[in-house]
Structures are given as C-alpha cells and as structure tokens.
Structure 1
Amino acid sequence: MRPLRILALVSLLAVGLAGCKGGDGEAQAKPGDPPKPPDAVPVEVTKAAHRPVAASYTGTAALEPSGEAQVVAKTSGVALSVMVEEGQQVRAGQALVRLDPDRARLAVAQASAQMHKLENNYSRARQLVTQQMISANDVDQIKFDLENARAQHRMATLELSYTTVIAPISGVIASRSIKTGNFVQINTPIFRIVDNSKLEATLNVPEREIATLRAGQPVQLTADALPGQNFTGIVDRIAPVVDAGSGTFRVVTTFAGGGLLQPGMFGRIKIDYDKRADALVIPRAALLDDDSDPAVFAVRAGKAARVSIKLGYMDGEWVEVRQGLKAGDGVVTAGKIALRDGTPVEVIGQPVAKPATAKVEAAAPGKKQ
C-alpha cells in the first residue's frame, strides 16, 4: 500500500507543476501585442501668469533705539527719593532721584559767606586806593581773591544741583539700579533710558547693491517675536564708504516705535528698490536645481518638456520669466524629481489623456487579411 500512495503523490505533484507552467505561458505577452506605454507620473502644475513683482534686497538685523543714555550720579549721597520706575516714560530734564542735599547746602553757604566778605573788602579797597592808603597791588590781590571766591560759590551751587538727578533725554526707563535709602557713589550708573520713539535696524549690505539702494526707499519688516505681522519703515541713511575688509556698506533703516516693536527684537528686512506692474511670473518652486541654466518642466501634449528660461526679478515665492514661456503655459511645481524630458505626466485634478492603441484582429483560418 505504501508504494502505491507515494506513486499517487508524485503524479499529483507533476500535474500541478505542468499547470503552473501553462499559467505562466498565458500571463506572458503575445508576440503580436503592442508594447505597453510607460505609466504617467502624477504632477502638480501651475500656469504662468501676469502679476506685479518687485526687485528687493533682504537681510536680518536687530532693532535698536535711536537714542540711549546711561544716567550716572554726579555727586555722592543717600537717595532720599526715587521718583520713577522701569517702563515709565520720562521727559528730558525730569527729576529722577533726589539725594541728601545737606552737605552740598553747607558748602554753598560757606562759599557764599567768603564771597560776600571779599566783595566788601574789594569795595573798601577801591575807596582807599584813591586816598593812597593802599597800594594798587593790594587792590589787585583782593580782586583776584574775590573772583576765586565767586568761582567757588558757583562750584558749590553746581554740586547742590547734582543732588537732583535729572533725565538727560526723553524716553522710557529701561533699567533701574537704585532704591530709596541706597548710598550712591559719584559716577555710578543708576538708570538706563532708551528713546524708543524711533527704532533703527542697521544692515551690512554687499557692495554690489550700492547703486540700487538710496535714502527714502520703503522698507518692510517682520519680527520673529510678532509672527504674521508686517511693519513699514524707510531707508534713513546710507554710509558712503564700503568697508574694505568685509566688502559691505551700512544701510540704516528706521521704523516708528512706541507700539508693538521694541528695542532688541530681531527682524527680517526687505527693501524694494524697483517694481514691474505686469510681469510674467511662475512659482519659485517650479525652477529646476541648475543655477547655471535656469529651466522648468512645462507640460505639453501630456508630456514633460524641459524648457530653458531667462529669469528676471525674484519676489518672495514668485520669479519673473523674461524669456522661454508665455502666459498660460503650465509648469510643474511638484513631482519634478521623477521627470525626464518626454516623460508622460498626469496632472493632478485633470482627467488622464489615454493614448490611442491600434486594434489587431485575429484572421480566421483560410481568410485573407
């Protein structure tokens, strides 16, 4: 029984192998069938169109206040009153701190007494010199002493005025390093005031741009701290000298302060120096990665065609085409990496154009073709 069972299994296996071979033969293309066309590559397409574009220079810089001052104590003393806080707006000449004035007042009183004494002596000496009771040299010495006493009095009065610390510029208190009751040493910084009414951003621009930028041109700024918001300003001044070491020149742009923009913010700055109202443009994403030969893939008759173009201005996500395309030409913006010149494409969102195929009819036996 065992030999018969083995023989039956071998027979079944042989039949199965023969069936597999027959199936493979059916799957293979017949010699008379036309070759299968290559699959179309799905792509996204945008049409070239007319729109305004601007030629611009872009750079990055930090915002700085137009004016800044470190307020220092010009005399020593105990702070009796601190009258401003951080973030407070102040005016030039406004009192910020009052120091203990007692010592300075005593110095003024002493200098005043000495000055009045010498004034009386000088007045009497002038009368005596006419009576030849005092020499002219003695009168001159008294006059010199009087002028010196007057200078000492003015110095003491100035020291007294220093006991009231005033703001040298208008602006906002950016920092404070003093409290009521502190002893303040002379020439010690106690406040920092910034004038944020106008903010500046300085760009170091390559020398090739020196002929395109000028004072008064409009400027656009976007700040990292304020996403989605744009701020306008102008080119305030341009340095007339190019730095030999870096090959750049300084361009100072200004923006209105007192609002959302604050000193120290980092911003991206765009200076438009020329505009074209009706330029033929395509998305920058359509450009192929070849800087020496700018080109795009245009869609023509359902296939990709590599087209060399001449570029003009680049404005954000758009690039101007000066030569090589016309309005309405479709260019591939997504799917470029899989394309070659002549590759069939399927534009996403449009029906697929099916290529026509020739029918081959089988001839009946004995019938002429």
Structure 2
Amino acid sequence: MTARRALLALMLFSAGCTRHNEAQSAAAAGTEPRAIPITVAAVTIRPSERLVSFVGTLYGHDELTLSSQMEGQIKAIAADLGDHIEANQVLAEIEDDQLRARLREVEATWGKARADETRGRQLVEQKVISPQEYESMKTTVSVIEAQRDTLAVLLQHTQVRSPLTGSVAKRLVSAGEYVRPGTPLFALVADDPLKLRGDVPERFADELQAGQTVRVRVDAFPDAAFDGKLSRISPSSNRENRSIAVEALVDNHDRKLKAGFFANAAIVTRSDEEAVMVPQEALITFAGVTKLFVVADSIAHERQVRPGARTAEGMIEIVEGLRADETVATSGLTKLQNGASVAVKKPEDKQG
C-alpha cells in the first residue's frame, strides 16, 4: 500500500513538472499555454441529510411472562397467540366457586360479629360486660375483616389480567389445566412502540444525540420506511468490534412491525435544506485531503474542501470551501493545476 501511494505521488509530481515545463516552454516561445479541455458542472443546492447506517433487531418495548398468583383449575381462556390486548383486560379465569362460597360464609360471620360489637358497646357503657370482653368482640371483627379482605384479593386473582397494552406472544396453558402460584400462563409483548437495538461504529460517536430521527426498513415491507427516535446511547465502546450500542423507539401504531424482525436503519445526524452539492467526479482525495477545481474565466482554481453526505445519485455535499454560485471541473482533473487555462467542452464534444 505504501509503495502504491509513493508511486501515485511520484506520478502526480511528474505530471505537475510536465505541466510546469510546458508552461515554461510556451512562455519562452511567446505563446499562451494550451488550454486543457474539461467538462464542468454548476454547484447545485438541494436538501441533504447526514446518515449513519446500522443494522439491528426489533424488540418489544416491554416483554414479560404473566404467571398465576393462585392455585386452581383454569376455567376459561380469553386470549390467544397474536391477539391484541389492552391493559387490565382479562386473559384467563381460574375456578372460583369454592372461594366465593368461603367468602359468603366469612361475610355472614362478619355481619354477626359486627352486630355483637354494636351490642357490646352498649353493654359496656351499661357496665353489663367488662371492657376486656368488649375488646375481644372488636378483635373478632378485625380478624374476620382480614379474612374477608384476603378472600376478596384471592377472588380478584382468579381473573388473570394483562398488565400492559400489546399482544400475546405465547399462550402457555389451556382450559382445564391445574395451576399453582408461579405457573407461567402467557408471554406478552408491548409492541407500540418497539425497541430497535443495534451497534454503530465508534467513529460516529460525536454525531449521535438522543432524539435524532431514525429511519427503519424491514424485509417484510421493502417499500415502506418506519420512523423512530434515538432513545439510548451506550456510554462505552465495545472493545471487540469498536462499536457503540444504541437503542431507538420505533412507532408501530398499525402493528405491522413484529418483535424479532431484522432491520436496516439510518440515524439522521444532520439535516440541511440548502446543502451545496457537486458531482462526485469533481473531487480528488489524496492523503486525507479532498480538493476540487473551481472554474472561472477559463481558469482552474484549486480549492481544498470538506465533503459531507453522499447521495444515491452520485452527488456529494460540500460542507466547507465552496459557494453556491460557483462552477467546478468534472473531467481532466489529473491534467489540471492551480491557475491552469481550460477550455470547457460543449455537451456534444464530451466524447471527443
């Protein structure tokens, strides 16, 4: 690689010497240097975006396994694979007949205990019973109330409700199965928005900011683009592949996207509605320096520039070093030097 660069540098130097010698010879002969034939292109102004591309995988915004909180037989299943669900929606019911019967008994006992406490209050005021006996009545009421409340909570747990809005990823039980506390019932995913996770080369670290627009494409919908926002950026780089983990939230209100999809994504790190653009063939890059030739009054003026985003149409944004009203050379660049006389070819002469 070093030898090739040295050879290229030698060729450029030799070409420069040749052009310089030609100019000296022309001057000695009292003639003007021969104009170098070139083609040109006017600088164009168009919207431009700086994109940082990466690939990733879509995940649910939240993913969880919903488990039973009590023991009993599954009485009914109200949701299945792929169903859209709302938060607090009933997904399954556990047999509750025994609980309801027990609750009715406890409520009846509680009613009697409350009546005894009311009478006891009057009797203790009349000194018919002792304060200790009355306190015992109050304690009985409290104990029964605790039993009633516990049964009411257990009865609520017989209705298995979704804690999130999303979709059913898996149904793990069937009606008639006997479950215990901790038995997995459903795998659920919150799918709007989805999370896109991927890795960006570390050289783009200074361009990334939370909130930047992310454009996402998936194989399932090749003609569609989905918008998201960059939400998280890792504070450290992966030493093995020199990349930074990023996460974006992708809108999925129509639920076309699925958790697990592979995605191609591009982060819009900069947007300019009036970017200065030139054809890519107008640029020469050597040893990390990019330059072009601005043509004015049939003279080529060498100009160092800073390139930006590239477009699919072969245009390159010039971030610094070029004005919107200038014209650049697009051919014959290897023959040009600063101050060279040029002759602009007409369109019909380009192949000549």
Q: For residue 314 of structure 1, what is the aligned residue in structure 2?
A: 309
Distance in 2 separating the partners of 1:234 and 1:75: 41
Which of the numbers 23, 32, 52 marks the counterpart of 2:46?
52
Q: For residue 327 of structure 1, what is the aligned residue in structure 2?
A: 327
Q: For residue 187 of structure 2, what is the aligned residue in structure 1?
A: 192
Distance in 1 separating the partners of 2:170 and 2:330: 59
Cα 1:135–1:124 shift into 2, 3 Å: same
| Deviations 1:201-257 (CA, angstroms, capped at 9, x unpaired) | 3577755235xx463x5432222443343223445x567xx7256696966443243
TM-score for the superposition, normalised by structure 2: 0.67
Q: For residue 89 of structure 1, what is the aligned residue in structure 2?
A: 84
Contact 1:201 1:253 (8 Å CA) reproduced: yes
Which of the numbers 227, 235, 243 marks the counterpart of 2:235?
243
Aligned-CA RMSD value? 3.9
1:61-210 matched pairs, under 5 angstroms: 61-201=56-196, 207-209=205-207
Contact 2:73 2:94 (8 Å CA) reproduced: yes
1:279-290 matched pairs, under 5 angstroms: 279-283=276-280, 290=286
| Deviations 1:232-290 (CA, angstroms, capped at 9, x unpaired) | 3445x567xx725669696644324324322232231222533042413223x776664
Alpha-carbon shift at residue 99 of structure 1 (Å): 1.2
Cα 1:269–1:224 shift into 2, 3 Å: farther
Equivalenced residue count is: 288
| Deviations 1:28-73 (CA, angstroms, capped at 9, x unpaired) | xxxxxxxxxxxxxxxxx99464142434342434333334443221
Distance in 1 separating the partners of 2:61 and 2:290: 43
Structure 2: give runs of 5+ residues left out of the alignment.
1-38, 337-347
Contact 2:275 2:317 (8 Å CA) reproduced: no
Distance in 2 separating the partners of 1:351 and 1:252: 48
Alpha-carbon shift at residue 329 of structure 1 (Å): 2.3
Cα 1:200–1:56 shift into 2, 3 Å: farther
Cα 1:89–1:291 shift into 2, 3 Å: farther
Cα 1:102–1:253 shift into 2, 3 Å: closer
Distance in 2 separating the partners of 1:192 and 1:95: 14
Which of the numbers 264, 267, 271 marks the counterpart of 2:264?
267
Cα 1:350–1:98 shift into 2, 3 Å: farther
Alpha-carbon shift at residue 159 of structure 1 (Å): 0.6
TM-score for the superposition, normalised by structure 1: 0.64
Alpha-carbon shift at residue 293 of structure 1 (Å): 1.7
Distance in 1 separating the partners of 2:168 and 2:109: 42
Which of the numbers 253, 256, 267 marks the counterpart of 1:257?
253
Alpha-carbon shift at residue 129 of structure 1 (Å): 0.8
Task: Pick the structure with greater CA Rg.
Answer: 1
Structure 1: give runs of 5+ residues left out of the alignment.
1-44, 300-304, 333-338, 343-348, 354-369
Cα 1:97–1:238 shift into 2, 3 Å: closer
| Deviations 1:317-367 (CA, angstroms, capped at 9, x unpaired) | 4322344795352158xxxxxx9668xxxxxx96654xxxxxxxxxxxxxx
